[in-house]
Each structure stands twice: as C-alpha cells, then as structure tokens.
C-alpha cells in the first residue's frame, strides 16, 4: 500500500521514481512485514509444538460455529473480495506507465485514476463488512460459550468447587473463551486471508514475470531463520512477564479483599507488602524493557532484510527492463506486489502452530464443559409437589468423592489426589434416622462424627453411596433437583451474603417479595431493628460477604431469607453459634413459631436447641450410637450424657 501511494504521487508529478522515495517506501513496507511477523512471534506456541489437530475437536468447533454459517460465508467472501481488489492498483499503475503515459491519453489517465479510487472505496466497504461479520461471529461465540460454561459450572457438585481455584474458573470464562473466539475469527480468518492473498498475488506476479517472482520467494528464509531464533527468546520473555503479572494480580486480589486488608492492618505488614509488590512490579518492568529492546533490534534487522528483498526485485527487474524482457510498468507492479507475499508466506509457514495454539483455548473450554456432573436429574425424575417434609435415612453409607471424581485437574491448585485401592474413607456407616413431618431433630456428637455430612445429603449436595434417603417417600435421586431444593431451606454456620443490598440478599429466596414481606421476615428473625437502623434500610449495601454486619446479624438475615423461601424442611447447621445469649433467646422464640409446621434438622451445641428438640440423634464416628428425647438419653447415660455435662460446664463458664 505504501508503494502504491508513492507510485501514484510519482505519476501525478510526471517524474521517474527517486531514490529517496524508493528508500522510504522500502523501509515502511518492510516495517509492516516485520510487525506482522512480530504478532506471530509473540504467540506462545509451546503447547502446540508436536501436537496434531483432532478431527473430533474440529467438528465440535464447527458445531459451535454452525449458527453463524451465513456470517462466516460473508466473512470469507469479503476476504476474497478484498484480496482481489488489492490487485487493482498495481495492475492499473502498470497500464498507466506502459500505455497511457506514452500515448499521452489524458482521458484514459482520468478513467484509470477513477478506477483506482473506486477500487479503494469498494475495498473500504468490503473491509467494513468483513469487520462487521467478524464481530458478530466473535461476540456471538463469546456469548454462547460463556453462558454454556456458566450454566454448566454452577450446576456442578459441591466437590468441584472445593477443589477448583476460583481464579482459574474465571479465567476459563474470560481468557480462554476469548481465545476460542479468536481461533475462529482471528487465527482461522488470518490463515484464510493469507492463503487467498498469497495465491492471487503469486498468480499475478508469475503472469508479470516468473523469474522475479521466484527470486522473491527464495528470499523468504532470510525472514524465517532470524524469526525462529528470536521468537523463542521473545516467547520466553512473554511467558515470564505473564507469570509475574499473575503473581502481582494475585497479591492485589488477596490483599485488597476485606479479609486480606484487615489481616495486613492487624499485623502491621504494610511495608513488607509494598516491598513484595514492588519486587514483582520491578520484574514486570525489567521483562518489559528487555522485550521492547529485543523486539526493536529484531524489527530493525527485519526492515533491513525487507529492504534487501525489495532492492533485489528492483535490481533484477531493472535489468530485465533494460534488456527489454519486461516493461517499466511491470517492474513497478512487481515491486508493489512483492511486499504482499512476505507477510502471508511468513505467517503460513507457522500456520500449523498458530492453529494448534488457537485450538488450545477450545480444548480448555471443552475440558470444563465435558466435566461429568454426578449430581444431576435422572431422565425420569419426578417433580415434588406439596411437600410435607418427612425425611428418612435408611441404612445410609457415604464416603466423600475422591480427587478424580467431579474435578478438573487443570483447575486445581495441585495434582489430583491418587485414588487409593480401597477408595475414600467411609464417613457414614449404615445410618438410619426417621424424621417425621413437622418434627425437630437435633444431631449431636463430637467433631467429625458426621453431623454436617448428614445435613449435606438431605438437599443432595452429595449422593449417598449406599442405602437410601427419602423425602415424603421419594428417593431424593428420583426427584428433580429444582423441586427437591425448593422444598429445603438451609442456614449455615457462616452464611454467605452477596455484595448487594439487604433487600437483594433477602429477595434471593423470593424475587417477587414486597418490602413489607421482607420486613415481616426480618421481624420474625428478630433482625428488623438492625435493618431499620442501617443508613439506607433495606437498600443498604452489606459489603463483600456481608462484612458490614456482625456474625449474629448475618445469621439472622440468613434466617429471614430462609423464612421468605417458606420451605417444608429446614436444616440449621450451627445457625445460632454466633449469637449472644440475648439474641439467641430471641431467635429461639422466632424459630419455635416459624418451624411449628416444618420439619427441622438442627446441628447445634447450644443446650436450648438440643433440649427443645422432639428427638435427638447422637452420632459418633459416622454411626448412630444413641437416639431419643433429652430426658431419655440422660437417663440412659453414655455419650450424650457426657456431651451434655460438657455443654453445661462450658455454657456456665460463658459470661
């Protein structure tokens, strides 16, 4: 393009090309070629070396691109049209120099100038269409992949989240999805464009003079040899810089969170944190400087090589003009076209690695999409209607999934756990508990007895390994997850609140709830006075994980949220552990009213909760060792009596 503009200026002035203009055109054109090569060099192809393109992967990618078939067709047509239109100016300039100027035909010169302008206008329109279709395809793929990934990930079982890094998951939804999009509209589009450009340009150059074309192609190794050597060094710098940036971002993410910031302040480690951050930032700076200098040296060398290539065309073509083998117009056209073959030739020599590297992103996205979800609806799952809340565990045996189950190795902080020959240790051993509708059952026992495990099995966060767990006579595995979990409300020991308003957090249970309904739930949970005392009431932001509220206030809000859900079964996992004696008494009064017609499974160490239960189940080492009312268990003695005496002593010592 630069040579075309220079040639047009020369023709307009009615003079021959000058050495200064030629040198300028050669330098700028060579710079453009070098920039294209640099884009190739900065691509990390370490994962693609030696790999082969899986046909099944290609077919799967094609299936995701199928909805955009019309846009893809238009995109490819625009690429072909743009490549053909780029040939118009050199051929017109050849005709002007060889025919129009010698004949002194001003009318023809005007027509030819108009033709060049018309080709440029059409090329501009074609370029806009190409970009429009590319954007629609790319953004559409990003949308489709992100939604599919988000939907799949959020439905994965709990063990998936306990083993996966949150940052790695977010990266899949951002970096890898964008990389997959670039594989279609970027890499594959570039390869297609390069092939079309190379074919059309080479055919045109061979038609003008095959000898000059051959010499131009033979000069390609002068580009490739230094590109390969420098590319390895630049990729090393790029990987190092990415790792340093990741470390720096990880430090900022951890330290700028509420919990991290509080820890730094409490330990007074501001100077040490700044020094550590400074070291990482300095590494990023140093790598950036070395990469920039190395890149500039390489580009200067490539500009020199490019100048040699164009000079060779002028030298050989000039000799051919002197001998009468070709015309001066053909020489100008060849010199213009030669800059169009170095970029696609250089890129296509690395096309396989480029394509493989681009498809790595698709593989990483599909790796998560293909992760099996063992906790899902059966094909013939029933919808639970009008739940009564009768929960029954029949000879339930359970062991937590091993590291290889429900997990993606590349999302973990370390290697997947080795699966032992005997499998994971059994946590529950033939546990049988009957919880009639409308009753309250307390689960007690020492730490690690299996209380929280039982609570996790009821809403089917995990599946039993043996035996059966039923709700209203239905095996929970035969019910749809939506209807099962819709019938169960859980208040955890450390309830989670989103970084949103109080009202938004409450409406997570009932999106259509009115403000009056929210206040009524808060009143029942004895937290209305707290909410009304906040600066903006229900519209007050609670902060990350609810850090603007105390532990007891968060738990009472969680209880209010549970009440809004209005479930048939309520699971309280240490739900009153963070409350003071006065607040706990108020909550107990609220819960007695709220749970009057509901089934309640309570895990607690507080005497008030345990004593008031309809039945108490004592667990030890994953087995039911005692079961009965408070009075019955005290009379029998054993583990419950020991636990009770410990609780009495600990609560008596609590101010």
Average pLDDT over residues 456-479: 94
pLDDT digits (tens, 9 = 90+) for 304-331: 766 777 788 888 888 888 888 888 998 8
Please tell me the distance from the alpha carbon of residue 437 to that of residue 425, in angstroms, as a whole number. Answer: 32
Cβ–Cβ < 8 Å for 506, 520:
no
* Model pLDDT for residues 397-425, shown as the tens digit of each residue: 999 887 666 667 767 654 445 444 455 78
The token pair that represents 92 in the structure block: 């017109």
Mean local confidence (pLDDT), 588-612 = 75
Give the model's pLDDT for residue 55. 82
Q: Measure the CA–CA gap between 633 and 103, rounded to whole angstroms.
A: 117
Q: Is the confidence at residue 578, as pLDDT, over 60?
A: no
pLDDT at 213 over 70: yes
Mean pLDDT of 31-36: 44
* Structure tokens that stand for 39 in this block: 């884009």
Residue partners of 118: CB distance under 8 A and separation at least 6: none
Question: For the whole prediction, is pTM greater than 0.75?
Answer: no
Please state the rounded mean pLDDT for residues 124-146: 89
* Alpha carbon distance 213, 205 (integer Å): 6
**Whole-number pLDDT of residue 116:** 93
Same fold across 392-487+569-576+584-655 and 493-566: yes
Q: What angle do the packed helices 106-154 and 55-65 form, to 10 degrees?
A: 100
Residue 166's Cβ-side half-sphere holds a number of Cα atoms within 13 Å equal to 3
**Which CATH architecture does the domain made up of 2-369 adopt?**
Up-down Bundle (1.20)
In this prediction, residue 21 has a pLDDT band, given cuts at 50, 70 and 90, of very low
Instruction: Say if residue 240's pLDDT is above 50.
Output: yes
Least confident among 294-308, 384-398, 485-499 = 294-308
Cβ within 8 Å of residue 156, ≥6 positions away? 371, 373, 375, 406
601-615, 622-636, 641-655: least confidently modelled range: 641-655
Calpha distance 575→584 (Å, rounded): 10
pLDDT digits (tens, 9 = 90+) for 267-291: 777 888 888 889 888 888 888 888 8
Q: What is the pLDDT of residue 216?
A: 76
Which of 2-11, 382-391, 493-502 is predicted most confidently?
Answer: 382-391
In this predicted structure, what is the pLDDT of residue 401?
83
Q: Which residues pair with 469 in a beta bridge?
A: 393
Res 41: pLDDT = 42
In contact, 334 and 94? CB cutoff 8 Å:
no
User: Is residue 121 over pLDDT 90?
Assistant: yes
Given CA atoms 115, 117, 118, 123 in this order, what sign does their dihedral have? positive
CATH match for 493-566 among 2.60.40.1730, 3.40.50.11930, 3.40.50.720, 3.40.50.300? 3.40.50.300
Percent of the chain with pLDDT over 90: 24
pLDDT score at 451: 92
Is residue 479 packed enough to be buried (19+ CB in 10 Å), middle (13-18) or exposed (0-12)?
buried
In DSSP notation, 2-29 reads HHHHHHHHHHHHT-PPPHHHHHHHHHHH
581 burial type by CB count under 10 A (0-12 exposed, 13-18 middle, 19+ buried): exposed
Q: Is the pLDDT of residue 11 over 50?
A: no
pLDDT at 2 over 70: no
Mean pLDDT of 549-563: 84
The domain spans of the chain are 2-369, 392-487+569-576+584-655, 493-566
53-65, pLDDT tens digit by residue? Answer: 678 888 888 888 8
220 against 379, higher pLDDT = 379
Q: How confident is the model at residue 652 (pLDDT cuts 50, 70, 90)?
A: low
Q: Are 284 and 275 in contact (CB under 8 A)?
A: no
Architecture of the domain made up of 392-487+569-576+584-655: 3-Layer(aba) Sandwich (3.40)
Q: Note the helical H segments in 155-269.
A: 158-163, 166-171, 177-182, 188-208, 210-218, 221-256, 258-267
Question: How far is Cα 174 from Cα 221, in angstroms, rounded to an integer?
Answer: 38
């Amino acid at each position: 393009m630069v040579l075309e503009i220079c040639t047009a200026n020369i023709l307009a002035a009615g003079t021959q090309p000058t050495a200064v203009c030629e040198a300028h055109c050669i330098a700028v054109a060579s710079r453009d070629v070098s920039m294209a090569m640099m884009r190739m060099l900065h691509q990390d192809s370490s994962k693609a070396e030696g790999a082969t393109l899986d046909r099944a992967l290609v077919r799967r990618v094609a299936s995701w691109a199928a909805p955009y078939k019309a846009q893809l067709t238009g995109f490819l047509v625009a690429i072909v049209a743009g490549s053909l239109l780029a040939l118009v100016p050199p051929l017109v300039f050849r005709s002007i120099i060889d025919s129009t100027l010698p004949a002194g035909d001003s009318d023809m010169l005007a027509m030819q100038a108009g033709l060049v302008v018309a080709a440029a206008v059409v090329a501009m329109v074609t370029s806009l269409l190409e970009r429009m279709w590319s954007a629609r395809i790319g953004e559409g793929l990003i949308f489709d992949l992100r939604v599919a990934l988000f939907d799949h990930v959020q439905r994965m079982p709990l063990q998936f989240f306990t083993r996966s890094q949150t940052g790695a998951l977010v990266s899949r939804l951002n970096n890898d999805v964008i990389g997959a999009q670039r594989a279609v509209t970027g890499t594959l589009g570039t390869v297609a464009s390069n092939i079309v450009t190379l074919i059309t340009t080479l055919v045109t150059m061979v038609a003008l003079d095959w000898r000059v074309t051959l010499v131009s192609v033979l000069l390609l190794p002068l580009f490739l040899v230094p590109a390969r050597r420098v590319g390895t060094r630049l990729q090393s710098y790029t990987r190092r810089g990415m790792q340093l940036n990741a470390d720096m971002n990880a430090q900022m993410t951890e330290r700028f969170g509420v919990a991290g910031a509080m820890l730094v302040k409490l330990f007074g480690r501001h100077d040490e944190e700044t020094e550590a951050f400074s070291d990482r930032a300095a590494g990023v700076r140093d790598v950036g400087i070395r990469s920039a200098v190395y890149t500039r040296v390489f580009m200067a060398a490539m500009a020199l090589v490019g100048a040699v290539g164009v000079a060779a065309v002028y030298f050989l073509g000039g000799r051919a003009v002197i001998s009468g083998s070709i015309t001066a117009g053909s020489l100008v056209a060849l010199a213009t076209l030669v800059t169009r073959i170095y970029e696609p030739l250089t890129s296509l020599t690395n096309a396989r690695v480029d394509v493989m590297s681009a498809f790595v992103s698709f593989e990483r996205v599909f790796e998560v999409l293909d992760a099996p979800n063992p906790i899902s609806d059966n094909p013939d799952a029933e919808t639970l209607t009008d739940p009564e809340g009768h929960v029954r565990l029949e000879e339930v045996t359970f062991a937590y999934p091993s590291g290889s189950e429900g997990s993606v190795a590349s999302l973990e902080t370390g290697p997947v756990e080795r699966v032992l020959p005997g499998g994971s240790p059994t946590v529950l051993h033939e546990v049988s508990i009957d919880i009639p509708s409308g009753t309250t059952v307390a689960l007690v026992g020492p730490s690690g007895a299996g209380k929280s495990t039982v609570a996790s099995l009821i809403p089917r966060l995990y599946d039993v390994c043996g035996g059966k767990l039923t709700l209203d006579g239905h095996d929970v595995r035969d019910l749809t997850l939506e209807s099962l979990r819709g019938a169960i409300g859980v208040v955890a020991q450390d309830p989670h609140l989103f970084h949103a308003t109080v009202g938004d957090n409450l409406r997570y249970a009932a999106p259509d709830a009115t403000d009056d309904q929210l206040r009524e739930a808060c009143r029942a949970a004895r937290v209305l006075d707290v909410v009304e005392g906040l600066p903006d009431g229900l519209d007050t932001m609670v902060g990350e994980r609810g850090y603007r509220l105390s532990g007891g206030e968060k738990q009472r809000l969680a209880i209010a949220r549970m009440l809004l859900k209005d479930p048939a079964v309520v699971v309280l996992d240490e739900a009153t552990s963070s409350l003071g004696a006065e607040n706990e008494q108020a909550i107990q009064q609220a819960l007695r009213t709220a749970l009057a017609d509901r089934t309640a499974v309570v895990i607690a160490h507080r005497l008030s909760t345990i004593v008031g239960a309809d039945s108490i189940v004592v667990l030890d080492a994953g087995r039911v060792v005692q079961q009965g009312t408070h009075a019955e268990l005290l009379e029998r003695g054993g583990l419950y009596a020991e636990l009770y005496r410990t609780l009495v002593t600990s609560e008596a010592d609590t101010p």
